[in-house]
């Protein structure tokens, strides 16, 4: 169990609080006695209501409405900032991130923790990496007290709606070879790491850290999922030569993963931060509720 290192409770604004990352950060902060204000566009949504029931101070706000962001930042000490390009596109994501960073500077926020993506600073030419790197550059330029946390791909992607319907049929689609290795992270580890960063502000100011829970191969992933589901799971190879299959952004990302990859030194990272109690993919898979799959499986044939 993560050991609390900070004595006085913090007051933190969490953006994206109804999502996976923001939700993990908000709930982890609450679990360790901190006060959380969660920003959402729709406080009446089921996810927002659940957060409120759990103790989050849910407030309405939008990255397109700077005054609502200013209002949300009143009285808080720290801000957890995250963005996504999958709603408005990469340019909008960058614009939103810059807006929030500028307001954090204006409001005198003592600690801005921005969650980017691993290797965003390595000229990947991947659109949704580059959009986050532009936000990073702006944060450094304006001299706001910051920490940049860069997680790798989420383990939770394996229970995303666009994956589940195939997984139910015993198929994982991937453009990577069975022996190809990549890094994954459980969102709860992001929550734990951000908690550690916020509780140890002085130690992390100005730092930029790539984080991952485990380095693992596609073959190992399918084997672990087979065991967790209690049924065979097979890898179906996707052709990266056809960009229409995954779209330009994701095609570029997977080509980069095959050729370069995140290359997070997980052994060194875990030795440096053992208090996070990093989650293996096998642990994560065994923690999921797979009851939805306890019915006959439709057989599919990989082409």
pLDDT in tens, 81-125: 998 876 778 999 999 999 999 999 999 999 999 999 999 999 999
The 10s digit of each residue's pLDDT in 182-201 is 999 999 999 999 999 999 99
H-state helical runs in the chain: 20-31, 46-54, 66-73, 90-106, 127-142, 161-167, 187-199, 201-204, 218-229, 243-246, 248-259, 266-272, 281-287
pLDDT of 297 reads 42
Domain membership of residue 194 (yes or no) is yes
The 10s digit of each residue's pLDDT in 210-231 is 999 999 999 999 999 999 999 9
Question: Taking the chain, what is the end-to-end CA distance rounded to the nearest angstrom?
Answer: 45
Q: How many Å apart are CA 110 and CA 293, to the nearest integer?
A: 46
Domain membership of residue 200 (yes or no) is yes
118: left (phi over 0), alpha (psi -120 to 50) or beta: beta
Residue ranges making up the domain that contains 27: 11-152+187-211
Q: Is the pLDDT of residue 295 over 80?
A: no
pLDDT of 195 reads 97
Three-state DSSP class for 302? coil
Q: How many Å apart are CA 90 and CA 78, to the nearest integer?
A: 25
Strands 35-40 and 11-14, sheet pairing? parallel
Asked if 211 and 118 count as a contact pair (C-beta separation under 8 A), the reply is yes
Task: Using the structure block, give the residue that is written with the tokens 């069975």.
Answer: 178
Neighbours of 108 (CB within 10 A): 10
Number of domains in the chain: 1
Instruction: From residue 106, give the alpha-carbon distance in Å to each of 16, 66, 110, 205.
Output: 21, 11, 11, 18
The 10s digit of each residue's pLDDT in 273-292 is 999 999 999 999 999 998 86
Burial class (CB in 10 A: 0-12, 13-18, 19+), 72: buried
Q: Is the pLDDT of residue 59 over 80?
A: yes
Q: How many Å apart are CA 152 and CA 264, to the nearest integer?
A: 9
Share of the chain above pLDDT 70, in %: 93
Q: What is the pTM of this model?
A: 0.92
The 10s digit of each residue's pLDDT in 257-269 is 999 999 999 999 9
Q: What is the DSSP string of 144-210?
A: --EEEEEE-EEGGGGGSHHHHHHHTTTEEEESS-TT-EEEEE-HHHHHHHHHHHHHTHHHHTT-EEE
Domain membership of residue 123 (yes or no) is yes
pLDDT of 294 reads 59
CATH number, residue 26: 3.40.50.720
Show the CA angle centred on residue 151, arms to residues 25 and 227, nearest 5°. Answer: 90
Three-state DSSP class for 260? coil
Domain membership of residue 169 (yes or no) is no
User: 40 phi and psi, to 5 degrees?
Assistant: -150, 150
Rounded mean pLDDT, 23-29? 97
Asked if 7 and 29 count as a contact pair (C-beta separation under 8 A), the reply is no
Q: How many Å apart are CA 239 and CA 22, to the nearest integer?
A: 33
User: 257 phi and psi, to 5 degrees?
Assistant: -60, -40
Asked if 138 and 96 count as a contact pair (C-beta separation under 8 A), the reply is no
Rounded mean pLDDT, 2-16? 78
Domain membership of residue 249 (yes or no) is no
pLDDT of 301 reads 30
Domain membership of residue 256 (yes or no) is no
């Amino acid at each position: 169990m993560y050991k609390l290192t900070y004595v006085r409770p913090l007051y933190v604004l969490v953006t994206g609080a109804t999502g996976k990352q923001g939700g993990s950060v908000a709930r982890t902060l609450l679990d360790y006695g901190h006060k959380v204000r969660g920003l959402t566009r729709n406080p009446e949504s089921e996810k927002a209501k659940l957060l409120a029931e759990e103790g989050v101070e849910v407030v309405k706000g939008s990255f397109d409405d700077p005054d609502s962001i200013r209002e949300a930042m009143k009285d808080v000490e720290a801000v957890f900032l995250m963005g996504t390009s999958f709603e408005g596109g990469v340019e909008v994501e960058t614009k939103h991130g810059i807006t929030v960073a500028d307001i954090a500077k204006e409001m005198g926020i003592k600690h801005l923790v921005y969650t980017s993506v691993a290797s965003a600073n390595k000229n990947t030419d991947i659109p949704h990496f580059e959009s986050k790197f532009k936000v990073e550059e702006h944060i450094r330029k304006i001299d706001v007290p910051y920490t940049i946390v860069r997680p790798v791909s989420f383990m939770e992607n394996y229970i995303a709606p666009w994956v589940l319907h195939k997984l139910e049929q015993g198929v994982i689609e991937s453009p990577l070879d069975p022996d190809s290795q990549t890094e994954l992270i459980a969102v709860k580890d992001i929550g734990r790491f951000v908690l550690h960063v916020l509780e140890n502000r002085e130690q992390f100011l100005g730092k930029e850290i790539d984080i991952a829970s485990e380095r693992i191969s596609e073959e190992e992933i399918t084997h672990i999922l087979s065991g967790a589901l209690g049924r065979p799971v097979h890898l179906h190879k996707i052709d990266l030569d056809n960009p229409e299959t995954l779209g330009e952004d994701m095609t570029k990302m997977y080509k980069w993963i095959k050729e370069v990859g995140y290359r997070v030194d997980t052994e060194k990272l875990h030795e440096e931060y053992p208090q996070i109690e990093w989650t293996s993919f096998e642990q994560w898979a065994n923690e999921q509720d797979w009851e939805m799959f306890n019915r006959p499986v439709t057989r599919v044939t990989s082409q």
